[in-house]
Amino acid sequence: MQINDRRDLYGGGLIMLIGAGAVLEGRRYDLGTLQQMGPGFFPVALGVILLFIGAMIAIVGTAAHAHDEQHVRIERPDWRGWGCIIVGVLSFMLLAEFVGLIPAIFACVLLSAAGDRTITLYQALVLSSIITVLGVTLFAFILQVRLPLLKVLGI
């Protein structure tokens, strides 16, 4: 049974897109000559290589028959896990900036743990408490990371 590997088509396309972007942006810088290369020479050269390789990946991938059917399908992301991990990192950034390290660690671990479908609320709370205590001890007290612990309390 012949199944074309769609991943190579998309993957090759993505690489070509990046290459095209590099060429377009790189052309805004001075190319120079081969002897006196400007800042734009190297990126444009890389962009051209990427365009070429991207095309090769797409062509080879669609022309050759995929050998194993099970790997051909692009796996769907697990949206809950995705959302929670991203929100976890974002919450760390925002809370560390505006509120303090303690809530930042707690929220980061709790929210990202919520992405797992088997974890219970109790487990998640215990985990984030432990990591918060360990994290504050290690990073704030031992390694002296320069982030306020809790801005409201002024520490």
List binders of another protein among 57-96 (CB under 8 A).
57, 60, 71, 74-75, 77-78, 80-82, 84-86, 88-90, 92-93, 96
Give the number of other Cβ atoms within 10 Å of residue 86's Cβ: 13
Residues 95-114 that bind another protein (CB under 8 A): 96-97, 104-105, 108-110, 112-113
Assess 145 for contact with another protein (CB under 8 A): yes
Q: Contact at 8 Å (CB) between 14 and 23?
A: no
Q: Would you say 37 or 155 has its CB closer to another protein?
A: 37
Which positions from 32 through 51 interact with another protein, judged by CB under 8 A? 33-43, 46-47, 49-50
Amino acid at 94: L
Count of residues near another protein by CB under 8 A: 74
Tokens of 50: 């990427």
Among 3, 24, 119, 133, binds another protein (CB under 8 A): 119
Q: Which amino acid is at 50?
A: L
User: Helix (H, G, I), strand (E, B), or coil: what is residue 37?
Assistant: strand
Q: Which of 15, 5, 132, 19 is nearest to 69 (CA)?
A: 5
25 touches another protein (CB under 8 A): yes
